[in-house]
Structure 1
Amino acid sequence: MVDLHPAQVLAGGRAALAPHAVRSADDYTAALLEQALDTTADRTGALVRFAGRLDPDEAAALRAALTLVERDPDPREGG
């Protein structure tokens, strides 16, 4: 099995080097994090352990992201 760079993942699961990927790198990373959380029965525990491993700048970025999501559940939509 070959791991594809996010820019190589296209609609329908086809792989190619193309200028327009279906997913951004951020969307790809978020999907990987979601998949990892899906492997545990204790999502809260996993999130707490993850947060505990962040450095102070990353923790601040996570707090800011959570604040943004509370205001606008899908910031990509610009709503």
Structure 2
Amino acid sequence: MNALQTYHASHAETLALLNTLSDNDLDHAPAIVLERMKHFADFQSIGNLLVFTPMPDMSHRGQLADVRQRLGRMLFA
């Protein structure tokens, strides 16, 4: 499985999990959080974690768009 297939599979699994959760479930603490990450608000609840999850992808996409623009290439659609 290549990186893009893995990404899409992970996304589908996340959506499937989200569909099983109630609003109350989103307030619960995640089952496992790395010790060094426990103090960050993004890792305090399942809801916060799900909101945080796409942030790195969005940030990197923005960085790539900046580079493409600087190189005179078409921006992402």
**TM-score category, normalised to shorter length:** 0.3 to 0.5
Please give the TM-score of this superposition, normalised by the length of structure 2: 0.37
Higher relative contact order (CA 8 A, sep 6+): 2
Structure number with greater Rg is 2
